[in-house]
Amino acid sequence: MPAIKSTMMPAPLSLNRLLEHAGRLFPQSQIVSRLPDKSLRRHSYGEWHRRTRALASALKKLGLRKGDRVATLCWNHHAHLECYFGIPAAGGVMHTLNLRLAPDDIGWIAGHARDRFLIVDDILLPLYQKFAAHHRFERVIVFPFSGAPVQVRAGEPHDGEPAIDDYEQLLAQAPADFDYAEHDENDPVAMCYTSGTTGRPKGVVYSHRSTVLHSLMAALPDYVALSARDTVLPVTPMFHANSWGIPYAASMVGAKLVFPGPHLHPEDLLDLMQLEPPTAALGVPTIWLALIQAFEANPGRWKMPAGLRTMVGGAAVPESLIRQFAKHGVSVDQGWGMTETSPMASLFFEKPELVGELSEEQWFARKAMAGVPVPLVETRIMGDDGLCEWNGNDVGELQVRGPFITGSYHDEAPSASNFTDDGWLRTGDVAAIDEHGYIRIADRTKDLIKSGGEWISSVDLENAIMAHPAVAEAAVIAVAHPKWTERPLACVVRKPGASVDADELRKFLGGRFASWQVPDAIEFVDEIPRTSTGKFWKVKLRQRYADWRWPE
């Protein structure tokens, strides 16, 4: 048999191609950024393309070498988008630092990644000062986000102090003869650390290839369905798994982008949505919980943008939230993913065999699941006795693999707790998949409650409690119990002006859960602590209630 070879060009998948495509085809598409003083700044894609190449050219002139890490400490705005494409265009690796972490942790992460340069918003310089001694950058490039002049320290770093440059000056003086750094499609473009809820954070490094594939996948009509006619509002911080990869995907298709800057309070977001109505928006559930409460507490003050669809994930999305938004014509599509999975590994859409087949109850129940796996990502459920059937009932660890799933961690030996022998990522999430392929996340392994030898899902309890009309938020944790090993304790935030007590809530849950699953302890609290990515911080709650004493 004569050998046959593919005739296709071996052109590498490249982020630079996406930048060139967007710059050439959509020069008039808009990027709107909210500045610290709440005014809006507009850039066209044409300007963004020119400025991004200028950033890459300036970084090369400053001595950036291939593979050097350039950290960013920035809110969501146009210059951060320039970093997304400009740093890799120069051959560097963008490392988004999480500005909500403790300064010591940010310094540790920057050191572990061996970040060489830092690009920082001027309004975040006080935060930078708090970890500057933990990790010495060679150069600090200050983005004048507030418009105030930058105090430049010209020349080379000396006495351990970095040189300080003005981002806008660098761009203005960048050499015009810029050439993209040569690269292989597997070369790194960006890195991101997990939030380290269990031990030290771990670094995930994305490649040109993984980022391009993830962008193409995300834009598909059954998933995020991004098009040149969309207006996309990424509320998810650009340091949280690259704002779920959406800035890459949205600019690839020429969508208008609206960045909220540092203004993430519900009122600010609702104001922004009136000025620049989005067709697609993304964020963690706590953002949307707070937003819908502000919206409903002020009838007539704002309008929900017509036809808005939201992608919500990063934590379980309560069914009650999906129903609340539906009343206002907004769809909430739940996705599941991790920093390790680029991150979108599943998202809700209605499969054709279900169209017209579901009652309203079934429809919302299905929307409260974590969607179906995206193309190129393989999923399986590993139970105690081996692989589980996709029957909706058999529960085990969710494991994934694919070309945009990490196969290791930066500078860390692979461990059996993270990867299986046959090459799958262990997610640490407990889930079932049904016959249609919809994933139901039961819990994180460490959040499951083991009561008298039976497992209770904290996620199910939280969702049910948050369906009570007087409840704003709820988080359920396991608390050690002398007889039952663990019992659930619910922390509940009432809606302003609403009243409900523990007995009423227990009665409310009684219809939906077996009596042994209903929390014996219900604590009313003013707020539930949040993690650095805005999720309910259950580790903190477990610490708070570690000495909890059950009545004899």
Site of interaction with ligand ADP (CB under 6 A): 194-195, 197, 241, 313-317, 334, 336-339, 370, 427-429, 441, 444, 531, 533, 535
Give the shortest CB-419-to-ligand ADP separation in angstroms: 15
Give the shortest CB-199-to-ligand ADP separation in angstroms: 11
Q: Are 215 and 245 in contact (CB under 8 A)?
A: yes
Q: CA nearest 247: which of 169, 334, 189?
A: 189
Give the shortest CB-488-to-ligand ADP separation in angstroms: 17
- H-run or E-run covering 104: helix 103-113
Tell me whether residue 16 or residue 339 sits nearer to ligand ADP (CB atom). Answer: 339
Tell me whether residue 379 or residue 531 sits nearer to ligand ADP (CB atom). Answer: 531
Burial class (CB in 10 A: 0-12, 13-18, 19+), 37: exposed
DSSP string, 474-542: EEEEEEEETTTEEEEEEEEEEPTT----HHHHHHHHHTTS-GGGS-SEEEE-S---B-TTSSB-HHHHH
Give the shortest CB-399-to-ligand ADP separation in angstroms: 12
Tell me whether residue 57 or residue 334 sits nearer to ligand ADP (CB atom). Answer: 334
Q: Are 167 and 141 in contact (CB under 8 A)?
A: yes
Strands (E) in 60-114, as ranges, are: 69-73, 93-96
- Closest residue to ligand ADP, based on beta-carbon distance: 195
Give the shortest CB-436-to-ligand ADP separation in angstroms: 17
Tell me whether residue 52 or residue 334 sits nearer to ligand ADP (CB atom). Answer: 334
Out of 302, 363, 455, 484, the active site residue is: 455
Give the shortest CB-197-to-ligand ADP separation in angstroms: 5
What is the Cα–Cα distance from 115 to 64, expressed in whole angstroms?
Answer: 11
Q: CA nearest 519: which of 441, 465, 482?
A: 465
Give the shortest CB-428-to-ligand ADP separation in angstroms: 6
Give the shortest CB-321-to-ligand ADP separation in angstroms: 12
Out of 61, 351, 450, 495, the active site residue is: 450
Give the shortest CB-467-to-ligand ADP separation in angstroms: 16
Out of 194, 339, 427, 531, the active site residue is: 194
Tell me whether residue 32 or residue 241 sits nearer to ligand ADP (CB atom). Answer: 241
Three-state DSSP class for 89? Answer: helix
Asked about 302 being catalytic, the answer comes back as: no
From the centroid of its chain, how far is CA 350?
A: 23
Asked about 194 being catalytic, the answer comes back as: yes
Q: How many CB atoms lie within 10 A of CB 299?
A: 7
Burial class (CB in 10 A: 0-12, 13-18, 19+), 258: buried
Tell me whether residue 320 or residue 533 sits nearer to ligand ADP (CB atom). Answer: 533
Tell me whether residue 251 or residue 531 sits nearer to ligand ADP (CB atom). Answer: 531
Tell me whether residue 241 or residue 448 sits nearer to ligand ADP (CB atom). Answer: 241
| Segments in 359-408 forming alpha helices (H) | 360-367
Give the shortest CB-439-to-ligand ADP separation in angstroms: 8
Q: Are 364 and 318 in contact (CB under 8 A)?
A: no
Out of 82, 319, 340, 473, the active site residue is: 340
Asked about 455 being catalytic, the answer comes back as: yes
Tell me whether residue 19 or residue 430 sits nearer to ligand ADP (CB atom). Answer: 430
What is the Cα–Cα distance from 3 to 5, expressed in whole angstroms?
Answer: 7
> Helix axis angle, 502-510 relative to 458-466, nearest 10°?
110
What is the Cα–Cα distance from 308 to 126, expressed in whole angstroms?
Answer: 37
Asked about 340 being catalytic, the answer comes back as: yes
Range 126-142 burial, b when 16+ CB lie within 10 A, else e: ebbeebbeebebbbbbb
What is the Cα–Cα distance from 82 to 52, expressed in whole angstroms?
Answer: 5
**Residue 58, φ and ψ in degrees, nearest 5:** -65, -40
Strand 386-387 and strand 396-401: pairing? unpaired
Tell me whether residue 187 or residue 429 sits nearer to ligand ADP (CB atom). Answer: 429
Q: Are 119 and 83 in contact (CB under 8 A)?
A: yes
Would you state the structure tokens that stand for residue 19, as one six-digit string? 């930048």
**Residue 127, φ and ψ in degrees, nearest 5:** -70, -45
Strand 256-259 and strand 30-34: pairing? parallel
Burial class (CB in 10 A: 0-12, 13-18, 19+), 15: buried
**Residue numbers annotated as active site:** 194, 340, 450, 455
